[in-house]
Amino acid sequence: MNDSQLLAKVRAGDPAAERALYDAHVDRVYGLAYRMTGDETLAQDFTQDAFIRAFNKLHTFRGDSALSTWMHTVTTSVVLNGLRKVKKFRTSEIDLERARAVAGDKRRAEPDLRDRLRQAIDGLPDGYRTVFVMHDIEGYTHDEIAGALGVATGTSKAQLSRARAKLRVELADFAEEVVA
């Protein structure tokens, strides 16, 4: 079934077509939501909301781009907008994880790469972190990121470059381990 056939069926309210559209995109949306929040409940909330809104907005799709591109743009925007509203929540999660790490593993004197990497990514400015997670972890292209964030492609590239530079500094002690 091609995009226009699928779109016609979804617009006609065909539940099977809606499910097919959902299945085609849900892993990627949920993956991004989880990577950004680190919280299953929040990731589910954002993903559900993203699809509800995407289906509700489907009548605005004009066919200027591929349906999958449009779907990714809408759903990712919903996830990222939702994240801005609960930035406070993310901070609490980080504190909670740190507290748990301190309380639960006193034997380890030095943090390992995994801990330092998490701290370094969490410590990136929001814009850098978003682009790094989307591009280097989840495999979004700069065009997709630019579409979802409503910024120029060059901005996405610049933010990724700065994010990587910061991580290089933060993780310099682990250079051998990183490139091994």
Partner 1 sequence: MNDQHDNDQLGETEMDRFDAGVAKAARETYHTPPETPRDEMWAVVQAARAAARDGGDVDVVPIRRFRPQPWWAAVAAALVIGVVLGRGTLGGGPDGAVMIADGTTDTPATVDGARPARTPTGAANVVPRSYRVAAARHLNRTEDFLTMFRVDARLDQLDVDLGTWAKRLLTDTRLLLDSPAGRDPELRMLFGDLELVLAQIVQLRAGDPTEVEIIDEGLESSQLLFRLKAAQATAPAMVGL
* Lookup: tokens for 42: 């929040």
Site string for partner 1, 43-82 (x = CB under 8 A): xxxxxxx-xx--xx-------------------------x
**Using CB under 8 A, which of 62, 88, 106, 107 touches partner 1?**
88
Interface pick for partner 1 out of 1, 24, 66, 96 (rule CB under 8 A): 96
Catalogue the long-range contacts made by 110-117 (C-beta closer than 8 Å, 24 or more residues apart): 113/171, 113/174, 113/177, 113/178, 116/170, 116/171, 116/173, 116/174, 117/171, 117/174
List the interface residues with partner 1, window 114-173 (CB under 8 A): 114, 117-118, 121, 132-133, 136-137, 164, 167-168, 171
**Which residue carries 């950004």 as its tokens?**
36
- Residue 11 is encoded by which pair of tokens? 């617009």
Q: How many CA atoms lie within 13 A of 18 on its CB side?
A: 13
The reply on whether position 7 binds partner 1 by CB under 8 A is no
- Pick 82 or 147: Cβ nearer partner 1: 82
Contact 160/129 with Cβ under 8 angstroms?
no
Assess 98 for contact with partner 1 (CB under 8 A). Answer: no
Q: How far is the CB of 169 from partner 1 (least distance, A)?
A: 11
Report the candidate in 41, 38, 24, 33 with the shortest Cα–Cα distance to residue 78: 33
Residue 93, CA distances (Å) to 3, 21, 90 in order: 39, 32, 5
User: Does 40 engage in binding with partner 1 (CB under 8 A)?
Assistant: yes
Q: Which residues bind partner 1 (CB under 8 A)?
A: 13, 15, 18-19, 22-23, 26-27, 30-31, 34-38, 40-49, 51-52, 55-56, 82, 85-86, 88-89, 91-93, 95-96, 113-114, 117-118, 121, 132-133, 136-137, 164, 167-168, 171, 175, 178-180
